[in-house]
Amino acid sequence: MKLSTKGRYGVTLMIDLAMYQGEGPISLKSIAERQNLSEHYLEQLIAPLRNAGLVRSVRGAYGGYVLTKPSAEITIGDVIRVLEGPISLVDDPQDDLAYLWDQVRDAIDQVLDSVNLADAAERKMSSGDSFMFYI
């Protein structure tokens, strides 16, 4: 499985929102500056996240985006599935190893669903490391 920039940057965007949750709406411009990402690209990513109910927009001079629920209730898997679709390793696993590909997919799902945005944000804040995810 190779995660596209859509998935990686979307996770980065959501972790940034988690880091500043409770401080009011966060503009995409401020996220783009902090994470050294294109604001235009983040605008493309935020729409499906909003449509999925993971974020909501706040209009106005001090507007931006906020998470719709506590960061501990949104997993990395939630974000990846919204932006990338269901996780699959093989397009048409109709072979003798289909059971194996299913087990690998389930293991990946389990890992992605075991890390929530609060955990990832805490790790980022405590380590100071970059949190771009590569799978």
CA-nearest of 62, 33, 29 to 46 is: 29
CA-nearest of 99, 107, 116 to 135 is: 107
pTM above 0.85, yes or no: yes
| DSSP-derived secondary structure for 62-82 | T-EEEESS-GGG-BHHHHHHH
CA distance 115 to 98: 27
Domains and CATH numbers, the chain: 5-85+116-127 (1.10.10.10)
Kindly state the DSSP code that residue 38 receives in the 8-state scheme.
Answer: -
Q: Between the CA atoms of 71, 76, 77 and 78, what dihedral angle is there, to the nearest 10 degrees?
A: 40
> 53-98: per-residue pLDDT in tens?
999 999 988 899 999 999 999 999 999 999 999 888 777 667 888 8
Helices marked H in the chain: 5-19, 28-35, 39-51, 76-84, 98-114, 117-127
Contact 59, 52 (CB under 8 A): no
> 103-134: per-residue pLDDT in tens?
999 999 999 999 999 999 999 888 765 544 43
